[in-house]
Amino acid sequence: MKNPLHPLASIRTVLSIRAVLLAGLFLIMGQACYYDNEKELYGTAVPCDTLAVSYSTEIQGIITNNCQGCHNNQSASGNLNLESTASRTANIAKILDRIGLSAGAPGVMPTSGPMSTCNINKIRAWSNQGLPTNN
């Protein structure tokens, strides 16, 4: 009569159980892995065009949407009113200084959080092009 507690029998049983568990683990992990393609998930990023920046179609809207809420005729926060085109061009150095600060830095504008890098680059490009307002 064979002894069921024979040392080789228990080692074989343990090895068989480990093999089954290992195979099951590989099967589960193999099905959990997948490949994400960034372009398929998020689409293709639109490049930031700073070569042909237009005041009327881009800069005016950026400043109106990001600055004019606090810097207007009724509440010129920081004694800065950016409601008129003349004021925007005259104060471009202040605008560039404040929008160029890092998030969390004292004085960063807008106060709701920094503008997108693209919008900042567009305002810089507009300034570098001589602040044209007739386009």
pLDDT at 132: 95
Q: Is residue 76 part of a domain?
A: yes
What is the tally of structural domains in the chain? Answer: 1
Q: Is residue 10 part of a domain?
A: no
Q: Is residue 20 part of a domain?
A: no
The model's pLDDT over 89-129, given as tens digits with 9 standing for 90+, comes to 999 999 999 999 988 889 899 988 889 999 999 999 999 99
Cβ–Cβ under 8 Å, residues 33 and 74: no
Mean pLDDT of 35-57: 79
pLDDT band at 33, cuts 50/70/90? low
Q: Is residue 122 part of a domain?
A: yes
pTM: predicted TM-score of the whole model, two decimal places: 0.66
Q: Is residue 112 part of a domain?
A: yes
**How many C-beta atoms surround the C-beta of residue 131 within 10 A?**
15
Say whether pLDDT at 8 is over 70. Answer: no
The encoded tokens of residue 25 equal 């683990």
pLDDT at 22: 81
Q: Is residue 85 part of a domain?
A: yes
Residue 115: domain span = 55-128
Mean pLDDT of 44-60: 89
Q: Is residue 46 part of a domain?
A: no
Q: Is residue 73 part of a domain?
A: yes
Say whether pLDDT at 50 is over 90. Answer: yes
The model's pLDDT over 67-85, given as tens digits with 9 standing for 90+, comes to 999 999 998 898 999 999 9
The SS3 call for residue 26 is helix
Say whether pLDDT at 34 is over 60. Answer: no
